[in-house]
């Protein structure tokens, strides 16, 4: 898009917000061209803004959703389609953008949305480009299969309509579907729905129109201007607030003249920011994390203890997963997960440490490989209970720490060597291949940094004790239990 065209679309859109849109926009902010730093349009303070000030206010009737779209107005039966909120908003957007076009109320808004060629969400990446993200698990969350299922569902719905609603069919191509769905994923908000469809199964009807909305009643919506704000997990200084009649973008801290206004799209790591929104935070997201697969956790144990036979490990996992006593101790929480999150700040899921500590101490029980199934079950129950108490008290054993460090090392070794090097790219990269290569690098770099942080943090997050202390406690209890069983047996004989 040429500079003149870009500015013309921006001016037209801003005029629309305060005209047809009915917005109230503070004179202290302005939408500007930030393409020179790779952020497209942005909102910037032109005067100092105090904490709590409203930057702009949006009438609920000016946001785009199934309640406000012309599709529902022109075809009332669509309002009872029984489609999901994603499918409904996709059809509303297709109708407004392609069927109505310039006649759509939101036409000036559509002109400032990026084209498909400008989107970098992962569904647009080639297989080669996605390969750059290995071994990040974000690749498994792209959801192409689910997108195709949704496309087939929407297409079937349209083709089975008797009304002129079928005129959308000519625009319902896979390319248009992916484009609109990507725009919705990148720019939509979940807004409290003040006019939810009543469910036939509702047992209680609330006739008080002034009552507060239930937080689970929301509707997926496009909010022009609110989605112009860029997001930064470190620099967020404004949030969208909701009331009955309007939505207000409010400063949550002072914003100085010349500073950009940032919202936050969620507490997402860079991998998820890239998947959903098609960009990355070049200095890393505040919420970056890596995923440690269960197999790496177990590989760390096997490597550390130099035990090649995995039969014992499988039996331990089977007992932990099915044992009622262990389930009660864990309060119903699953301990054995496919992956365990390791965060940039050094925090990790306690389930990973509990599982690792339990396995490590069981491996040190004398003659454990010769134990019968019943004996092994009792050993696992006792060990899990003691390890649970140990972890709750903020302690781990030395062998658990070493096995954890080995597991992390093995996971880091999955990453390409360049993920260990810091990348500070130019923020105005225009070549799409270079840009995607750089974004993939930053995602992997953030995950490696998170793994390193968790490797080091375990020493400071937990007090390290010798394994003999925990092992003696378990074996002592085992001996006491055996003596009690022996006494019970003698009493029965008498």
Report DSSP state, residue 446.
H
**Which structure tokens are listed for 230?**
């860029």
Pairing of strands 29-33, 188-192: unpaired
d(CA 354, CA 342): 14
Kindly report the length of the chain. Answer: 494
Angle at 5 between CA 174 and CA 117, to 5 degrees: 25
CA dihedral sign, ordered 222, 227, 232, 233: negative
pLDDT for residue 34 = 87
d(CA 41, CA 46): 15
Cα–Cα distances in angstroms (integers) from residue 88 to residues 80, 92, 111, 144, 432, in the given order? 10, 6, 21, 19, 32
Give the list of residues 6+ apart from residue 485 with CB closer than 8 angstroms, or none: none
pLDDT for residue 204 = 31
pLDDT for residue 93 = 96
φ, ψ for residue 341, nearest 5 deg: -75, 135
pLDDT for residue 195 = 62
What SS3 class is residue 29?
Answer: strand
- Biggest CA pair distance of the chain: 101
What SS3 class is residue 352?
Answer: helix
**Which structure tokens are listed for 310?**
């995995």
pLDDT for residue 425 = 59
Q: How is the chain split into domains, by residue range?
A: 3-194+214-277, 289-414+450-493
> What end-to-end distance do the CA atoms of the chain give, in Å?
96
Domain 3-194+214-277 is in which class? alpha beta
Q: Say how many CA atoms lie within 13 Å of 179 toward its Cβ.
A: 17
d(CA 428, CA 38): 5
Cα–Cα distances in angstroms (integers) from residue 152 to residues 30, 69, 159, 179, 486, in the given order? 42, 22, 10, 15, 67
Quote the pTM value: 0.87
Q: Say how many CA atoms lie within 13 Å of 93 toward its Cβ.
A: 28
Instruction: Give pLDDT tens digits for 203-242.
Output: 333 333 333 333 457 899 999 999 999 999 999 999 999 9
Angle at 227 between CA 62 and CA 111, to 5 degrees: 75
Q: Helices H, strands E: what count in the chain?
A: 16, 14
Report DSSP state, residue 23.
-
Residue 304 CB coordination number (10 Å): 18
d(CA 72, CA 94): 13
Give the chain's residues under pLDDT 50.
198-215, 482-494
Q: Are 450 and 288 in contact (CB under 8 A)?
A: yes
d(CA 54, CA 45): 12
Closest by Cα among 118, 443, 134 to 280: 443
Closest by Cα among 88, 76, 75 to 165: 75
């Amino acid at each position: 898009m040429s500079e003149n065209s870009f500015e013309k679309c921006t001016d037209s859109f801003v005029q629309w917000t305060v005209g047809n849109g009915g917005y109230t926009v503070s004179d202290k902010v302005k939408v500007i061209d930030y393409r020179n730093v790779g952020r497209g349009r942005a909102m910037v303070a032109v005067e100092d803004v105090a904490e709590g000030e409203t930057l702009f206010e949006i009438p609920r009737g000016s946001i785009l959703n199934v309640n406000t779209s012309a599709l529902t107005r022109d075809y009332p039966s669509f309002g009872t389609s029984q489609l999901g909120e994603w499918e409904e908003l996709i059809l509303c957007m297709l109708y407004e953008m392609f069927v109505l076009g310039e006649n759509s109320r939101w036409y000036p808004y559509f002109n400032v949305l990026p084209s498909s060629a400008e989107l970098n969400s992962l569904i647009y990446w080639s297989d080669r480009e996605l390969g750059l993200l290995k071994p990040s698990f974000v690749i498994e969350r792209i959801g192409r299969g689910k997108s195709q299922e949704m496309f087939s569902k929407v297409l079937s719905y349209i083709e089975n309509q008797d009304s002129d609603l079928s005129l959308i069919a000519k625009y319902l191509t896979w390319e248009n579907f992916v484009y609109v769905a990507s725009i919705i994923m990148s720019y939509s908000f979940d807004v409290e729905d003040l006019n939810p469809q009543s469910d036939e199964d509702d047992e209680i009807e609330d006739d008080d129109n002034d009552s507060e909305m239930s937080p689970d009643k929301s509707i997926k919506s496009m909010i022009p201007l609110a989605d112009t704000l860029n997001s930064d997990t470190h620099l967020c200084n404004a949030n969208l607030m909701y009331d009955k009649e309007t939505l207000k973008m409010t400063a949550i801290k002072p914003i100085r003249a010349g500073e950009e206004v940032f919202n936050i799209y969620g507490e997402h790591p860079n991998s998820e920011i890239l998947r959903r929104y098609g960009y990355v935070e070049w200095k890393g997201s505040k919420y970056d994390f890596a995923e440690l697969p269960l197999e790496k956790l177990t590989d760390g144990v096997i490597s550390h203890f130099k035990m090649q036979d995995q039969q014992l490990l499988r039996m331990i996992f089977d007992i932990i997963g099915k044992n009622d006593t262990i389930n009660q101790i864990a309060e119903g929480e699953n301990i054995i997960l496919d992956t365990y999150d390791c965060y940039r700040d050094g925090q990790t899921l306690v389930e990973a440490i509990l599982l690792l500590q339990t396995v490590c101490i069981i491996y040190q029980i004398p003659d454990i490989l010769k134990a019968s199934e019943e004996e092994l079950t009792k050993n696992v129950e006792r060990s899990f209970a003691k390890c649970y108490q140990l972890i709750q008290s903020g302690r781990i054993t030395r062998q658990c720490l070493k096995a954890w460090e080995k597991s992390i090392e093995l996971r880091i070794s999955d990453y390409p060597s360049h993920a260990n090097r810091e990348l500070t790219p130019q923020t105005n990269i225009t070549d799409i291949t270079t840009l995607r290569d750089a974004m993939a690098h930053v995602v992997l770099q953030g995950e490696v940094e998170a793994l390193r942080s968790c490797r080091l943090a375990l020493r400071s997050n937990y007090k390290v004790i010798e394994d003999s202390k925990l092992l003696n406690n378990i074996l002592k209890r085992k001996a006491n239990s055996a003596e009690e069983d022996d006494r019970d047996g003698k009493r029965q004989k008498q």
